Amino acid sequence: MDTQRIILMAAFAMVSLMLWQSWQMQINPPPAKSQEITSQVSSQDSKDVPNVPKTQIETETIKPTAVSDSKKLKGKRIFVKTDLLELEFDSVGADIRKVSLLDYPIDVNTNPSPVILMNDSPDKFFISQTGTLNIDSSKTYSPDHNSVFVSEKTEYDMSTEDSLDVSFTWTSEDQKLSVIKTYSFTKGDYAIRLNQKVINNTGQTWQGYFYRQLQRDVGGENSNMFIHTYTGGMLYREGGGFEKYSFDDMIDENLNKTMVGGWVAMIEHYFLAAWIPEKSGKENYYTRVVNQPGYDTRYIIGLTSKPYIVDDGSTTNINDILFVGPKLQNKLAVISPNLDDTVDYGFLSVIAHPIFWVLDKIHGFVQNWGWSIIFLTLFIKLIFYKLSEYSYRSMAQMRKVGPKMKAIQEQHKDNAQAKNQAMMKLYKTEKINPLGGCLPIVIQIPVFIALYWVLLESVELRQADFMLWINNLSAPDPFYVLPLIMGATMFIQQKLNPAPLDPIQAKVMMMLPIIFTVFFAFFPAGLVLYWVTNNVLSIAQQWYITRKIEQAP
Dist CA 300 CA 288 (whole Å): 5
Average pLDDT over residues 321-330: 92
DSSP state of 552: -
Contact 80, 87 (CB under 8 A): yes
Segment among 14-18, 194-198, 425-429 with least mean pLDDT: 14-18
- At 141-194, the pLDDT tens digits run 788 899 999 999 999 998 888 999 999 999 988 888 999 999 999 999 999 999
Q: Which residue has the higher pLDDT, 404 or 15?
A: 404
**Residues in contact with 234: Cβ distance below 8 Å, sequence separation at least 6, in sequence order:** 242, 243, 244, 245, 264, 265, 266, 267, 341, 342
Q: Which residues pair with 286 in a beta bridge?
A: 256, 302
Burial 101-113 (b: 16+ CB within 10 A, else e): beebbeebeeeee
Phi-psi region of 463 (alpha: psi -120 to 50; beta: other; left: phi over 0): left
Provide the strand spans (E) within 15-162: 55-57, 60-62, 77-81, 85-90, 95-107, 111-121, 124-134, 155-157
State the amino acid at position 160 in one-letter form. Answer: T
Tell me the three-class secondary structure of 145-165, residue by residue: CCCECECCCCEEECCCCCEEE
Confidence (pLDDT) at 68: 34
Answering whether pTM is above 0.85, one says no
CA atoms within 13 A on the CB side of 264: 27
Q: Which residue has the higher pLDDT, 452 or 16?
A: 452
Instruction: For CATH 2.70.98.90, list the domain ranges present in the chain.
Output: 34-342
- At 301-320, the pLDDT tens digits run 999 988 888 898 899 999 99
Q: DSSP 3-state assignment of 314?
A: coil
Residues in the chain: 553
Confidence (pLDDT) at 345: 83
Q: Which residue has the higher pLDDT, 13 or 500?
A: 500
Q: What is the CA radius of gyration of the chain?
A: 30
Confidence (pLDDT) at 500: 61
Average pLDDT over residues 401-405: 72
Residue 398 has pLDDT above 90, yes or no: no
Confidence (pLDDT) at 65: 35
Confidence (pLDDT) at 325: 94
Q: Which residue has the higher pLDDT, 282 or 375?
A: 375
Chain centre distance of CA 484? 29
Q: What is the dihedral of CA 387, 390, 393, 398, to 10 degrees?
A: -110
Nearest partner of 190 among 335, 343, 79, 324, judged by Cα: 324
Query: ∠ at Cα 184 (167, 107), nearest 5°?
Result: 115
- At 480-509, the pLDDT tens digits run 899 999 889 988 887 777 666 566 766 777
Dist CA 92 CA 156 (whole Å): 18
First to last CA, the chain: 24
Residue 75 has pLDDT above 60, yes or no: yes
Q: Which residue has the higher pLDDT, 34 or 254?
A: 254
Dist CA 461 CA 360 (whole Å): 10
Q: Which residue has the higher pLDDT, 46 or 513?
A: 513
Segment among 76-80, 451-455, 496-500, 532-536 with least mean pLDDT: 496-500
CB neighbourhood size of 120 (10 A): 18
Residue 274 has pLDDT above 50, yes or no: yes
Confidence (pLDDT) at 42: 31
Residue 17 has pLDDT above 90, yes or no: no
Percent of the chain exceeding pLDDT 90 equals 29
Specify burial of residue 174 (Cβ count, 10 A radius: 0-12, 13-18, 19+): exposed
* DSSP letters spanning 5-24: HHHHHHHHHHHHHHHHHHHH
Confidence (pLDDT) at 434: 61
Contact 253, 203 (CB under 8 A): no
Query: ∠ at Cα 54 (49, 56), nearest 5°?
Result: 140
Alpha helix ranges (H) inside 401-437: 402-411, 416-429
Dist CA 64 CA 472 (whole Å): 48
* Average of per-residue pLDDT values in the chain: 78
Domain 34-342 has CATH 2.70.98.90: yes
Segment among 125-139, 141-155, 280-294, 504-518 with least mean pLDDT: 504-518
Dist CA 76 CA 388 (whole Å): 65
Confidence of residue 140 (pLDDT cuts 50, 70, 90): low
DSSP state of 43: T
Q: DSSP 3-state assignment of 354?
A: helix
- At 220-239, the pLDDT tens digits run 555 554 567 788 999 887 76
Confidence of residue 240 (pLDDT cuts 50, 70, 90): low
Dist CA 206 CA 310 (whole Å): 5
Backbone angles phi, psi at 272, to 5 degrees: -155, 165
Confidence of residue 552 (pLDDT cuts 50, 70, 90): low
Provide the strand spans (E) within 333-425: none
Alpha helix ranges (H) inside 206-281: 247-252
Give the helix/strand (H/E) hosting 299. Answer: strand 298-304
Residue 527 has pLDDT above 80, yes or no: yes
